């Protein structure tokens, strides 16, 4: 896979060129799909190509067996070694050594946070610490708690948020589909959800969105971003009294903050669970196990709120009821997509920070296409903890560094190892990709680069790539 950057020049490289490497990502889907089942665990996911982006990988496996926590996460198809592009083959590196830093890339089993038809798609979910109890609020048929509560209580927050969440049902042209969640983004009828929730309906499929009061609306896809795992759909004949959920500031979230998740786990619409923020900036990559799917990377919010298949695309709220993330993936053990049952939450879930999701949604509404930040260099997905190494050869024999691109202007060269992006530790290519994607094109970042045993700092102005191609 690859990423792209630009900035100030690094001191000239030594005569001997450094060794190359590469990286990439993918996304998860729901279970019990009518199409082909996701491959078994420990199969690497397809990754983005040179000059690609960063994100998080998660996947469901066909047997429901657990996914290990080492990088890389299991994926749909194995392939040749070397650099990879969007949908290109990828060879799984050796398992990562223990004792890795807290921000390690989590191998998440994207329990196709879709239920009902249990279709599939990229998914991430929130997680909750084992020592914190998870509280579930069961809403009444009209979507609101039956007894009035303090507006600042969990029940009070749920009562305000539930009317603005929807259960999304998809049906693809081939009959495959599933159930996920979404929430009202604006009064014009735009709903935010995960890309993997609507993936089956992208080409000629059907979408419906049902509110807690039982009112159901046909919907259409406005735009979807595979790499970010974000999508926007719009209600047809949307009601005039829609109330968008208030958006919080995910940059200001702190570990230990209370969280509230809303979704349709295993088809149980309007389910509310609680937890805390377990970690921030958690590098996560996720894949739906589909051989044709591309990778997704994120620098996620980790939560221990109970999240399961069907929760994908639902809001992660703070204690005030503001959206701070989109529930997208979970790490799970056991279960069985295609086996004894679909895997469920073990208290490790991941959400796309709302600051990033908001930017992506706005771009999709405006142009229908996502915009990714890039550095213009192919980086290795090799399983090391030393940093993100720029490969010697790009995807398909292309140049590892885009001529005239951000990395080229900054003086970077094959073999350079990027160990930090601003104050973020970069321990692998996927981590770098995820961090780059938290920025916007035109942002200026400082990279710490190692070359021949020496360390340099270089400023890079991030470039732009439009679309998922």
Q: Are the C-beta atoms of residues 277 and 257 closer than 8 Å to each other?
A: yes
Is residue 232 within 8 A of residue 222, CB to CB? The reply is: yes
Spatial distance between the Cα atoms of 119 and 180, rounded to a whole number of angstroms: 9
Strand partners, 236: none
- CA nearest to 54, candidates 5, 12, 125, 21: 5
> What is each CA distance from 130 to 118, 134, 203, in whole angstroms?
27, 9, 41
380 belongs to the catalytic site: no
For residues 429 and 417, is the Cβ–Cβ distance under 8 A?
A: no
126 DSSP β-pair partners: none
452 is catalytic: no
To 10 degrees, the CA torsion angle through 236, 224, 38, 60?
-90
Q: Out of 24, 77, 229, 250, pick the active-site residue.
A: 229
42 is catalytic: no
Longest dimension (CA), the chain: 74
Strands 298-303 and 315-317, sheet pairing: unpaired
List the catalytic residue out of 77, 190, 196, 439. Answer: 196
- Please tell me whether the peptide bond between 243 and the residue prior to it is cis, using omega within 30 degrees of 0: no
Q: Which of 70, 88, 306, 312 is catalytic?
A: 312
Catalytic positions: 196, 229, 312
């Amino acid at each position: 896979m690859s990423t792209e950057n630009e900035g100030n020049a690094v001191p000239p490289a030594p005569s001997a060129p450094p060794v190359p490497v590469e990286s990439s990502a993918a996304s998860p889907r729901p279970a019990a799909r009518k199409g082909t089942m996701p491959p078994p665990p420990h199969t690497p996911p397809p990754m983005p190509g040179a000059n690609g982006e960063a994100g998080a990988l998660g996947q469901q496996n066909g047997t429901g067996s657990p996914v290990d926590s080492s990088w890389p996460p299991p994926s749909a198809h194995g392939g040749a070694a070397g650099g990879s592009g969007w949908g290109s083959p990828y060879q799984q590196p050796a398992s990562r050594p223990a004792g890795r830093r807290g921000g390690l890339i989590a191998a998440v089993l994207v329990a196709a946070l879709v239920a009902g038809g249990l279709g599939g798609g990229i998914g991430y979910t929130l997680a909750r610490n084992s020592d914190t109890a998870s509280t579930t609020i069961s809403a009444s048929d009209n979507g609101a708690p039956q007894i009035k509560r303090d507006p600042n209580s969990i029940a009070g927050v749920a009562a305000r948020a539930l009317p603005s969440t929807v259960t999304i049902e998809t049906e693809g042209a081939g009959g495959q589909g599933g159930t996920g969640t979404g929430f009202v983004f604006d009064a014009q009828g735009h709903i935010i959800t995960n890309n993997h929730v609507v993936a089956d309906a992208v080409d000629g499929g059907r979408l419906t969105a049902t509110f807690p009061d039982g009112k159901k609306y046909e919907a259409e896809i406005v735009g979807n971003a595979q790499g970010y795992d974000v999508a926007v759909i719009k209600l047809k004949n949307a009601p005039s009294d829609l109330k968008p959920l208030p958006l919080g500031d995910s940059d200001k979230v702190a570990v230990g903050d209370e969280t509230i998740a809303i979704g349709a786990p295993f088809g149980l619409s309007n389910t509310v669970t609680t937890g805390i923020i377990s970690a921030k900036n958690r590098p996560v990559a996720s894949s739906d196990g589909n051989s044709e799917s591309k990778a997704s990377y994120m620098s996620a919010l980790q939560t221990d709120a109970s999240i399961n298949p069907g929760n994908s695309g639902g809001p992660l709220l703070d204690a005030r009821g503001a959206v701070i993330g989109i529930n997208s993936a979970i790490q799970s053990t056991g279960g069985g997509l295609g086996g004894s049952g679909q895997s469920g939450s073990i208290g490790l879930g991941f959400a796309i920070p709302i600051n990033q999701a908001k930017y992506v949604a706005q771009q999709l509404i405006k142009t229908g296409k996502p915009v990714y930040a890039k550095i213009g260099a192919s980086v290795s997905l090799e399983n090391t903890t030393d940093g993100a190494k720029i490969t010697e050869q790009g995807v398909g024999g292309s140049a590892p560094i885009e001529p005239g691109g951000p990395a080229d202007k900054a003086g970077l060269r094959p073999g350079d190892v990027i160990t930090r992006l601003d104050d973020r530790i970069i321990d692998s290519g996927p981590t770098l990709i995820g961090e780059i994607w938290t920025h916007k094109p035109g942002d200026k970042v400082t990279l710490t680069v190692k070359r021949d045993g020496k360390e340099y700092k270089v400023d890079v102005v991030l470039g732009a790539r439009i679309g998922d191609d």
